[in-house]
Amino acid sequence: MGSFDPGKLDLGPVLSRMPTSYEAPPVSGADERSKALLKGQTLAPNENIAGYVQAPPLMLTTMASIDAFTNPTYLPPNLLSTSGVDTNTHPISAIRVRVAGVTGIDPVSRERVRVVARRLEALGLRVDITVGSSPAPVRTTLPAGSLGRPELALAENWTKKGVAVEIVKAVDTKSVALFGLILLVCALTVVNAASAAVRARRTELGVLASIGWSPPRLAGMVLAELALIGVVAGTAGAVLSFPVAWVSGLDISPARAALAIPAATGLAILAGIIPAVRAARADPGAAVRPAIASTRRARPVRGVFSLAVTNLRRVPARSLLGAASLAVGVAALAVLAGITLAFQGAVTGTLLGDAVTVQVRGVDVAAVVAMVALGIFSVADVVYLNLKERAAEFATLRAIGWGEGPLSRLVAYEGLLIGLAGSLVGAGAGLGVVRLLGAPITPTLLAAFAAAAVVGTLSAAAATLAPTLALRRLPTTEVIAEE
């Protein structure tokens, strides 16, 4: 004989713990009336072995003593039956099976559990897969008892199966979506840069076309250059993934890290299709034709801001790509803020869901910050490319008396306009997404989206600092002489 201490049992993590028959689960009052009737305590079991809260077992035994429970001498037939099943011939109500080799909810472990479950079902048994389960708060009503117990509103935890698997799938989908948006922003940036390169090499491409280069060959040259850049970027990403994984506490295999190389190469080639098509249409006459504007009535420019608007309208595709890159990042930021405010950032309904949500929030924030940073970089890239192509114009303005102040404001206005357009579109798109998720539109939510738009706009304006410094170093005399 010995004593049994249920407190020494390893029941697993609290967030995924399954109920046992070794101790009564806590059942508390769900409203003030029930709490007062229970005197602030939990509902305790009584002498009724079929009561709502069952008492812990008075005895633990082995399978060798099963004969005592099937012998009518010791246990009258159907004494413990609650479902019409003869407990003397079917004394076992449930069996817990632990599958060997299961280390979590990874695909291999889930497949091992599934195979064992199918074998048990083939024997005519009812199988409940409890791996990845979690307690879920439930409110129930216990009717009044026949001996004077009043009706009670109770709060307790019921087991919800498959919570961890659902959360992992949701997190995987969300992560794929976020990192897919990062790749989209990268692709937009590559398209912008490649288009600017093709535009700047108009004369070079015209010369190649005039000496017999075919359109497919011109397009292939541009794609080959972008593919090489993609290989270099992918290699750098693969190498950097190891220290990043080490700092983040993650485990990454060399094979998975090597996937960055073909991914970056494919992304660069895909983003370079439009610039390559433009290169294939190179005009041989561009090699000798001077870059003059078409004859049409010019609109008057009444100030620095008006000139900035005119400059952006001269390259609408580039300006729109820069705004779109920032819009994606601001939209993701707005959605993250909206979900956090509207739903408290939680997968509601289970303890495990609440905990996992808190743990993955850092990854979400990191992805959103990366997207916003890439969007800001794209805006700075657009402004810099505009500055580089219009170097002669800036040099001329400086030569006729424009000071550094108006020139710097001109560059800042261009970045501010792109940032404002992208931020407003992104905040509006984020508001639409959160509204589709069922979040109520509150003043706090609107303020959060407005703040996201302001952050995006001001960040884009601040990103023009580097192009402004480059403008100050512009050699006016040399640029005018070359022109």
Distance between CA 366 and CA 306 in Å, rounded? Answer: 37
- pLDDT at residue number 124: 83
Tell whether 381 is covered by a domain: yes
Query: What's the CA angle centered on 304, arms 468 and 462, to 5 degrees?
Result: 35
| Count of Cβ atoms closer than 10 Å to residue 65 Cβ | 9
Domain co-membership, 169 together with 105: no
- pLDDT at residue number 382: 82
Long-range pairs of 5-10 with CB within 8 A, sequence gap ≥ 24:
6/56
Domain co-membership, 325 together with 226: no
Domain co-membership, 413 together with 368: yes
Which of 234, 266, 291 is the last residue before a domain boundary?
A: 291
- pLDDT at residue number 347: 42
Confidence (pTM): 0.56
Q: What is the DSSP letter of 350?
A: S
Distance between CA 4 and CA 48 in Å, rounded? Answer: 22
Tell whether 194 is covered by a domain: no
The secondary structure of 288-331 as a DSSP string is: TS-------PPPP--SHHHHHHHHHHHSHHHHHHHHHHHHHHHH
Task: Write out the two tokens for 427.
Answer: 């905040």
Please provide the distance, in angstroms rounded to a whole number, between the alpha carbons at the two ends of the chain: 102
Tell whether 279 is covered by a domain: yes
Tell whether 227 is covered by a domain: yes
Tell whether 353 is covered by a domain: yes
Domain co-membership, 156 together with 169: no
- pLDDT at residue number 20: 54
**C-alpha pair distances (Å), 4 with each of 60, 61, 393:** 9, 11, 89
Domain co-membership, 273 together with 147: no
Ranges in the chain, pLDDT < 50: 14-16, 345-360
Domain co-membership, 424 together with 470: yes
- Give the closest residue to 463 by CA, choosing from 383, 368, 408: 383
Range of the domain at 225: 201-291
Residues sharing a CB contact under 8 Å with residue 300, sequence separation 6 or more, in sequence order: none
Based on the structure, what is the number of domains in the chain? 3
| Residue carrying structure tokens 């305790």 | 44
Domain co-membership, 110 together with 252: no
Chain centroid to CA 121: how far? Answer: 38
- Give the closest residue to 335 by CA, choosing from 432, 244, 477: 432
Tell whether 93 is covered by a domain: no
Domain co-membership, 327 together with 425: yes
- pLDDT at residue number 76: 66
Contact in structure between 321 and 382 (CB atoms under 8 Å): yes
Domain co-membership, 453 together with 418: yes
Contact in structure between 306 and 359 (CB atoms under 8 Å): no
Residues sharing a CB contact under 8 Å with residue 182, sequence separation 6 or more, in sequence order: 367, 370, 371, 374
Tell whether 440 is covered by a domain: yes
- pLDDT at residue number 163: 55
Domain co-membership, 314 together with 454: yes
Distance between CA 274 and CA 203 in Å, rounded? Answer: 19
Domain co-membership, 283 together with 211: yes
- pLDDT at residue number 70: 73
Tell whether 307 is covered by a domain: yes
Domain co-membership, 128 together with 178: no
